[in-house]
Structure 1
Amino acid sequence: MASLSIDQRDRLHRNDVRAFTVGVEEEFVLIDPATGRPSLTSTAVAAAETDIEVQLELSQCQIETCTPVCASIEAVHREVRRARGAIIDAAARSGSLPLAVGVPIWGPPAGSITDTPRYQRMAERFGALVQQVTCGCHVHVCVPERDLAVQVSNHLRRWLPTLLALTANSPIADGIDTGHASWRHMLWERWPSAGPPPYFRSAAHYDDIVAGLAEDGQILDPGMVYWDVRLSDHLPTIEIRISDVPATVVETTLLASLARALVITSVAAIGRGHLAVPVARTRLRSACRSAARAGLASTRFPTAVAGRRHALARLLRHVRPALEESGDYEFTSDTLAAVLAGGNGAVRQRGALLAGGPANVVDVLSRLTVEGCGADDSQWAR
């Protein structure tokens, strides 16, 4: 995606949905299948021969897969399936198993930081912050014009709590229920450059804030800008990164569909001269914490849950024209209804914990991670 053809640029200017290509990155925890404990095997897994793009992460018990650029949501589904299948096979050759979970059920041993110069510099600079293990899902959508991309970011900000509640998949840490549907979010926001992005006036304003973070020693480089929405520092994309890694292939595809439709809808609004209404970062942080705590199902916070479900209905209405134009409305609507009815990863983890303890949670997550990987392409939307 480093360069765009004249045809692609023309499609973007016409707000043609085919121009809004998508790429998805998923992070996984590697575990020992016999014990369920984190397995420090990422280097071996990454070195295994596969036909997918794999990246090392901060901890040796993490691995990331990256899809190719996809022109459709059907292609996203196919590539996420393929990547999960490939990383499961690669991990098996190293005696480990990848789990699609926002935080490990059991913490890794001390000294698990990946031995690369950058990660070692991060450990030296940020101390105990680097000891956390968190796994997210990042959706890249093509928006090559940076001044347009920052305006899209402004439009996306208000939907961040809704996307987080939908994808929450990390209620359990150290074998117990944390009381949060997304414990990953609570850990992740401790980074000084994490959380909702500021409201930007321009790409220059964005760059000034990033430069300030570097000057203050809050980041080593632009890759450490951990805002929930950010401009990629090496691709012509806007990156939506609020979400836990979803439990299943189809939930990741749902997230990609909603994220892409939000970007398309935002670009259309900007083209009509509609700027996003500013929302204070303190208010957004509070809303994201509420979403992280309550998720989609909670007996303790029923008002918050009801609000999130209403917000998801509003989100679907908001992006429906974009989804209908791309042909993804039926898939997105049906899949969203299924997640609301059956529960997201956090709901299923808690059910598994009550039914059989932490070992049962690991078993359930291992099944969910691979669920759908062998499905026929013709059934992608079901």
Structure 2
Amino acid sequence: MTATGPKATPTVRGAASATIGVEEEFVLVDPHTGRPRLRNLDVIEAGRELGIDLTVELSRCQIETATAVCTHPQDLREQLRRSRAVAAEAAARAGCRLVAVGTPIFEPPAGSTTDTPRYQRMAQHFGGIADGVICGCHVHIGVDDRDRAVEIINHLRPWLPTLLALTANSPIADGRDTGYADWRYLRWGRWPSAGPPPQCASAAEYDAAVESLLATGTILDPRMVYWDVRISARHPTIEIRVADVPATVEETVTLATLVYALVAGATASIERGEAAPSVGQDLLRAACWRAARDGLAGRGVDPCSAQPVPAVELIRRLLVRVGPVLEELDAYRSVDEALTVVLARGNGAIRQRRILDHGGSLTDVIADAARRTVEGCTPDLS
């Protein structure tokens, strides 16, 4: 794609040196009907036999994969290919099909909460909020210093709507088009701790915000801080959680590489003494809503100018912003080509709707999504 827009901020040599890891969440469906199957424990057992560690999620029709810790975002590609392929094989052995969608096309039956003490407690405390199934992609970037992590989060906040639009993959839920490219984000927003993070001046201020959520019963434990980017409660990382699970491995690699470059660029800006843009919480929330509504197919909001901008232009501005880091990583060409493909063919949301627009059925949408889930993946079952 042609990168046009504001001048890029130069980086410094060596800024891109953090670790990176990715978690992906998937829906398990019946191979024939496409309806969710509540068999995550069976799939996890089959995965164990195949040599992959899968984990449960809130609903019994979900599983999660995780890569190892990597030192370069491009190292993720083969790991993601293998994890998706082996997870798909584990699902097949358990009588299921693995699908990368932000929300299931059909809703699971009642009582689908995974039977662990934590998830059962969440379901009891939050009621109907816990019923909606959502599948995201979480990118972890290693940051040891918590005050530095807060500064980086502040620099990332304006780019969250663009990452959201790029990865939108959930227009259909409960058997109908919701009118949103990213229904997962709207469904996720029902949780009281979800949405853009506050702009904090220090780790102490960040921790005080978390403590207030705990003290008021808004969250039950620190892992329930569901901000779109947060300091991980379990790892020395910041965790970018704004994205749907992308439709393909290549889209996940592109997302992870862009996030890695944004963090490296933010680190360089901080080291030069540059303050993060001041973006109000209400405006940022509005920009994320617009990104969820239109995805790549319409207009977004530039959080810094508060002006409507075509989503494609926001993607170009993002590429300009991270271009110097991508060059340092020797990843500019691969990211540029991947973005060109996504903009030409459409992301998950666009392709799901295109099938329906051409007379396809909901089961056709699910079958296509399942194929794209393992596109380019070769299982290593040795």
TM-score, normalised to structure 2, is 0.92
Task: Please state how far the C-alpha of 1:264 moved relative to its aligned partner.
Answer: 0.2
Matched, 1:272 2:275: no
- 2:28 corresponds to which letter in structure 1? L
Task: Please state how far the C-alpha of 1:53 moved relative to its aligned partner.
Answer: 3.1
CA distance in 2, matches of 1:168, 1:146: 30
Change (3 A) 1:270 1:302: closer
Q: Which residue matches 1:258? A: 258
- Pairwise mapping of residues 112-151 of structure 1 onto structure 2 (< 5 A)? 112-151=112-151
Contact 1:15 1:264 in 2 (8 A): no
Task: Please state how far the C-alpha of 1:335 moved relative to its aligned partner.
Answer: 0.4
Q: Which residue matches 1:194? A: 194
Q: Percent identity?
A: 54
- Equivalent in 329, 350, 367 of residue 363 of structure 1: 367
Higher relative contact order (CA 8 A, sep 6+): 2
- Equivalent in 302, 312, 315 of residue 312 of structure 1: 315
Task: Please state how far the C-alpha of 1:359 moved relative to its aligned partner.
Answer: 1.0
Contact 1:17 1:326 in 2 (8 A): no
- Equivalent in 18, 31, 34 of residue 32 of structure 2: 34
Change (3 A) 1:305 1:276: closer
Change (3 A) 1:308 1:154: same
CA distance in 2, matches of 1:292, 1:18: 29
SS at match of 2:239: strand
CA distance in 1, matches of 2:186, 2:78: 31
Matched, 1:164 2:168: no
1:15-56 deviation line (CA, Å, top 9, x unaligned):
735631110000000001011000001111112223333110
Give ranges in structure 1 of 5+ residues lacking alignment: 1-13, 377-382
1:306-347 deviation line (CA, Å, top 9, x unaligned):
522111111101111111101111111110111111100000
CA distance in 2, matches of 1:318, 1:53: 36
Matched, 1:339 2:337: no
Let me know the Cα RMSD of the aligned residues.
1.7
CA distance in 1, matches of 2:375, 2:15: 29
SS at match of 1:103: coil
Matched, 1:173 2:173: yes
Please identify runs of 4+ aligned residues in structure 1 that moved more than 2 A. 14-19, 50-53, 301-307
CA distance in 2, matches of 1:15, 1:132: 44
Contact 1:169 1:245 in 2 (8 A): yes
CA distance in 1, matches of 2:16, 2:264: 10
CA distance in 2, matches of 1:127, 1:291: 28
CA distance in 1, matches of 2:379, 2:85: 11
Matched, 1:247 2:250: no
Change (3 A) 1:18 1:199: closer
1:156-190 deviation line (CA, Å, top 9, x unaligned):
00000000000000000122111100000010011
Give ranges in structure 2 of 5+ residues lacking alignment: 1-11, 302-306
Contact 2:300 2:314 in 1 (8 A): no
Q: Which residue matches 2:104? A: 104
Task: Please state how far the C-alpha of 1:255 moved relative to its aligned partner.
Answer: 0.1
CA distance in 2, matches of 1:184, 1:25: 16
SS at match of 1:195: coil
- 2:296 corresponds to which letter in structure 1? L
SS at match of 1:19: coil
CA distance in 1, matches of 2:114, 2:171: 25
- 1:54 corresponds to which letter in structure 2? L
1:222-256 deviation line (CA, Å, top 9, x unaligned):
10000000001111111111000000000000000
CA distance in 2, matches of 1:15, 1:29: 41
SS at match of 2:81: helix
Task: Please state how far the C-alpha of 1:87 moved relative to its aligned partner.
Answer: 0.3
Contact 2:13 2:328 in 1 (8 A): no
Task: Please state how far the C-alpha of 1:75 moved relative to its aligned partner.
Answer: 1.2
- 2:297 corresponds to which letter in structure 1? A
Q: Which residue matches 2:281? A: 281
Matched, 1:328 2:326: no
1:108-133 deviation line (CA, Å, top 9, x unaligned):
00000000000000011100010000
Q: Which residue matches 1:10? A: none
- 1:370 corresponds to which letter in structure 2? V
CA distance in 2, matches of 1:26, 1:275: 32
Q: Which residue matches 1:380? A: none
1:59-90 deviation line (CA, Å, top 9, x unaligned):
00010000001112221111111110110011
- 1:367 corresponds to which letter in structure 2? R
Q: Which residue matches 2:91? A: 91
CA distance in 2, matches of 1:183, 1:360: 19
SS at match of 1:53: coil
- 1:363 corresponds to which letter in structure 2? A
- Equivalent in 21, 24, 29 of residue 22 of structure 2: 24
Q: Which residue matches 1:8? A: none
Task: Please state how far the C-alpha of 1:374 moved relative to its aligned partner.
Answer: 2.8
TM-score, normalised to structure 1, is 0.92
